[in-house]
A and B are shown apart, each in its own frame.
Chain A
Amino acid sequence: MAVSGTKTPVAGPQGDPNSLQASIKDAAMAAFLAGVLGFFFIGIRTDIAPGGLDLKMRWGAWIISILIVFAGRLLLNLFVYKTRRPVTRNLSIGLSGSESRLAQAGKVLKWGLFAFALILPFFFTTFFPGRDRQFIDLAILIMTYIMLGWGLNIVVGLAGLLDLGYVAFYAVGAYSFALLAQYLDFGFWLALPLAGLLAATWGVILGFPVLRLRGDYLAIVTLAFGEIIRVVLLNWYEFTKGPDGISGIPKPTFFGLELKRGEGGFADFFGIAYDPIQRFIFLYYIIFILALITNFVTMRLRRLPIGRAWEALREDEIACRSLGINTRNTKLTAFAIGAMFGGFAGSFFATRQGFISPESFTFLESAIILAIVVLGGLGSQIGVVIAAVVMIGGIEMLRNLGFLQQVFGSGFDPVQYRMLIFGLAMVLIMVWKPRGLISTREPSAVLKEKKRIGADMVAQGEGH
């Protein structure tokens, strides 16, 4: 080989004689494996025939799949794995630059989204009068998840405590309001702070035993806690009506005015025509304001000593202790405040649905909320918004993709595939941006010049 003491020119992709040979060898190996595995899954088809199963060989499909694997692997080898200049490298170099641009875009987007959210109901009533109700309902749903995401972001993103049972606090909030309304005739506005308080209390109760744990153990125990709450709600029939759920949960009032048709209603009081959409618009603004409060408090807390202590805790707990920070209390406040916002969101959920049952608070909900936080970028508020819009909005959008039925046949229901698509999207985003969409961190105090901090610097805390 022409390696000598002097500088050797760097070999290009074709300069490496091993490259092609090795690539073909590797691709052949992959094709062989595909052949072996695919023989049973693709090559053989079983049909139900009279008198039993009928085996049918599908040689064509089998060979095509082998060829696809061979070609795909070969291309990957030649351009990514076995070359000196993989095309993905340029991609990743480009992306490291795009990080700051993305953050910049996030800033612009933030105000854009805020403005849009502010006028959203009227936008839809004006431009989509036919489907406004559906869209506003979707906006409410997305906004609920944004709020939940922001709440969980305090625990996972800032304090770095992986919580897989966040939905428990959502449930506590929802059931608090429902039960208070049912047994004590509380209205929404009175029950809302109580629900938050109760959820926070549960957060502390959960926190005490759990916060000694670290990492995976913490995650598992929070997961268990989430399930325990649901199972109790399910089985304590006398109190919660178990799987039957609680119905007839009162609607929120506008300073004592109900949003109903006729005498004494909102429309009647202001002398405007009643329209059922008014109730949706009202609900939308309630959750919008609740979410804004969540965001405002979180942003403020980040700049306060408690918020900095959370982030410091995520970075290095032992150092925190050496600086006189009571880590147990600090973790508990993170849990409690996160839980409180979950509780607010829960009682909103109850009033919006009018009916709740333990069905709504499964682990899947926790997973979705966590996925929103992780995809958005731990600790990033705007990231959560984008992720929530993409994920919740995206799933709903699948319902409207009628054209897919023309492609795949009338039996095709895209909604059936939503979890598949969901997972695929998640994998793609994580490959593209392993630390979430907005992964840079904004410092909470600045001396001269604000510089965003790259994701590779920022620790992820326990359980990641």
Chain B
Amino acid sequence: MSTRTDTLLSVRGVETYYGKIVALRGVDLDVHRGEIVTMIGANGAGKSTLMMTICGQPQARNGQIIYDGQDITLMPTHEIVSRGIAQSPEGRRIFPRMTVLENLQMGAALVDPSLFDEDLAKVFKLFPRLKERINQRGGTLSGGEQQMLAIARALMSRPKLLLLDEPSLGLAPLIVKQIFDAIRALNEEEGLTVFLVEQNAFHALKLAHRGYVMVNGNITMSGTGAELLKREEVRAAYLEGGRH
């Protein structure tokens, strides 16, 4: 089944609805092994919906999602996740009444426990702030710290594919930089495949090997990060006027 090693995730013609409202209108995209792929687009374009559809919540009404050679379109979320997809969802869905450590333990629930300490050290190196807060409850962390925790928790599951939904949201410039550096390092050193949805188009495109632009539930452009950064349409819509 896994004779093809190249493509880790392939999304074909996926349509997703909320009730009668179309959120995705036939999305095609590929994420290859060892790649960082980003998806940019305006608010409400359907970026987060796509990410959630990959995780099976909501399920695609039409189309197909193949992950690691298997059709996961209609799999329940927990089965999808157990196959090595980790998501840091939009809105920092951490466990507010659990401590930082417990949150991270939850992230590592499916991983060999003997690896926990090693992973924990790695994650704390990435986010020293979390180490300071190790026994604090998730809900009492500041917004940015919760974001860090959400990403850290996703990493604890040793994913093959990491889905990040707006990881830079609400983070200080310095931290954003650290997180993007960390993503790059994980990708380069450990070959982690990353699919990233970002509002911060400039940083995301700079980081990513390839990017897609989503408008109104459709993918309108794709190319390498550098190519997209050059495109006039991209600049006009997502870059100009902001800091970069």
Contacts and interface: CB of A to CB of B under 8 A. Distances in A.
The reply to whether A and B meet directly (CB within 8 Å) is: yes
Interface string B12-37: 11000111100000001010000000
A96 B66 CA distance: 28
A96 B1 contact: no
Q: How large is the interface on B (under 10, 10 to 19, 20 to 34, 35 or more residues)?
A: 20 to 34
Contact of A1 (B1, B19, B73, B74): B1
Contacts of B18: 456
A407 interface: no
A1 B64 CA distance: 13
Interface stretch (A2-10, A65-73, A104-112): A2-10
Contact of A456 (B7, B19, B63): B19
A454 B10 contact: no
Interface of A: 1, 3, 5, 7-8, 10-11, 16, 84, 89, 93, 96-97, 454, 456
Contacts of A84: 73-74
B28 A7 contact: yes
Interface of B: 1, 4, 7, 10, 12-13, 17-20, 28, 30, 61-64, 66, 69, 71, 73-74
24 contacts: A1-B1, A1-B69, A3-B4, A3-B10, A3-B64, A3-B66, A3-B69, A5-B10, A5-B30, A7-B12, A7-B13, A7-B28, A8-B64, A10-B62, A11-B71, A16-B71, A84-B74, A93-B17, A93-B20, A96-B20, A97-B20, A454-B19, A456-B18, A456-B19
A456 B17 CA distance: 13
Contacts of B74: 84
A252 to B, nearest CB: 49
Contacts of B1: 1
A217 B36 CA distance: 46
Contacts of A89: 61
Nearest to A96: B19
A93 B17 CA distance: 10
A384 B9 CA distance: 48
Contacts of A8: 12, 64
A84 B20 CA distance: 19
Contacts of B7: 5
Contacts of A456: 18-19
Nearest to B62: A10
A140 B18 CA distance: 42
Nearest to B28: A7
A356 to B, nearest CB: 45
B64 A10 contact: yes
Nearest to B73: A84
A456 B20 CA distance: 13
B19 A10 contact: no
Given A10-B13, A96-B19, A456-B18, 13 more contacts: A1-B1, A1-B69, A3-B10, A5-B7, A5-B30, A7-B13, A7-B28, A8-B12, A8-B64, A11-B71, A16-B71, A89-B61, A96-B20
Contacts of A97: 20
B69 to A, nearest CB: 7
B98 to A, nearest CB: 17
A16 B13 CA distance: 18
Contacts of A96: 19-20
A10 B60 CA distance: 12
Nearest to A97: B20
Contacts of A1: 1, 69
Contacts of A7: 12-13, 28
Nearest to A89: B61
Contacts of A3: 4, 10, 64, 66, 69
Contact of B63 (A5, A10, A93): A10
